[in-house]
Amino acid sequence: MVTGGNRGIGLAIARSFAAAGADVIITHRSGTPPEGLRGVLCDVTETESVDRAFTEAEELLGRPIEVLVANAGITKDTLMMRMSDDDFSSVLETNLTGAFRCARRASKGMMRMRKGRIILISSVVGLYGSPGQTNYAASKSALVGLARSITRELGGRGITANVVAPGFIETEMTAELSDDLRKQYLSGIPAGRFATPEEVAGAVRFLAGPDGGYISGAVIPVDGGLGMGH
Ligand code: NDP
C-alpha cells in the first residue's frame, strides 16, 4: 500500500513494486488510479478515510497489508515569521499525523500476520533543516521518532519500521521551488545532480524485500550525500 501513489515519488514506488510482481494498492484523493494500478480513495488527514481505505484495500487483496509506504505529503513553505498556525498544523497533520494514522491501521493486520514492513517517506530536510520549511522539517524529522518507537513496540512481532529520507528529487513538488533554492541545493550535493523518483523507489523496495528484514529504526538517505553526517 503506497499512500499518495497516484503521482511523483509515490507513483514511482508503486510502479517499481508492481514491476517486481507485488500486489500493489495505491491511495489517491480523487479521480481514478493511474493506468495499471489498483487504488483506493484516501485522505490521510481523516481517520475514517484511512480506516475505510485500508478495509477496501484488504478486501481487494484478500489479505492484510504487508508493506505500508507512507508517502503522502505536502509543503506550505514560508519563513517562520510569516507562517500561520494553519500553515504549520496542516503540514504536520498530513505529513506526520497522516503517517501515524496509516501506520496504526496497517499494524493491526501486520500484528495478526506477525510480519510487516512500515516505510515512512521523510526528507533530507527533516534532519538538515531548511529556511522557509520549519513546518515541513518538523513533520519530517518527527517521522524518525515515529519509526523508532514503532520498532520498539512491534519489533518483536516481525514488523520493521524505517525512514527513507530523499534529497532533491525531480517531481511536481520540487518543480515549485525557486531557481535560487535549486541552485543552492545543487551546489551542496556531492553527487552533483538531483535524483529520479525511481532511485527512491529502489531504497524502499530494498527495505520491503527479503534483504531488509533485519533493518529497523534506520534512516536511509537517498540524497546524493547532501545531508550526510546528520
Ligand atoms: P507530490 O506533490 O508529487 O505528491 C504528493 C502526493 O501526496 C500526491 O499523491 C498527493 O495526492 C498526496 N497527498 C497530499 N496530501 C494528501 C492527503 N491529505 N491525503 C492523501 N494523500 C495526500 O510529492 P512528491 O512525490 O515529490 O513527494 C512524495 C513524498 O516524498 C512526500 O512525503 C514528500 O514530502 C517526500 N519528499 C519529496 C522530495 C522531492 O524532492 N520531491 C524530497 C524529499 C521528500 P494528490 O495528487 O491528491 O494531491
pTM: 0.97
Check: CB of residue 162 under 8 Å from CB of residue 215. Answer: yes
Interface confidence (ipTM) of the complex: 0.99
pLDDT at 218: 98
What are the structural domain ranges in the chain?
8-221
d(CA 156, ligand 1 centre) in Å: 31
Backbone φ and ψ for 7, nearest 5 degrees, come out as -160, 175
Domain 8-221 in CATH 3.40.50.720? The answer is: yes
- CA–CA separation, 167 and 182 (whole Å): 12
User: Which residue, among 128, 135, 132, has the nearest Cα to 95 in the 3D structure?
Assistant: 135
* Nearest atom, ligand 1, residue 6 CA: 9
Tens of pLDDT along the chain (230 residues) come to 999 999 999 999 999 999 999 999 999 999 999 999 999 999 999 999 999 999 999 999 999 999 999 999 999 999 999 999 999 999 999 999 999 999 999 999 999 999 999 999 999 999 999 999 999 999 999 999 999 999 999 999 999 999 999 999 988 777 888 889 888 878 999 999 999 999 999 999 999 999 999 999 999 999 999 999 76
* Minimal-distance CA residue to ligand 1 atom 16: 72
185 is catalytic: no
pLDDT at 174: 74
pLDDT at 177: 80
Q: How open is the CA angle 174-171-178, to the nearest 5 degrees?
A: 20
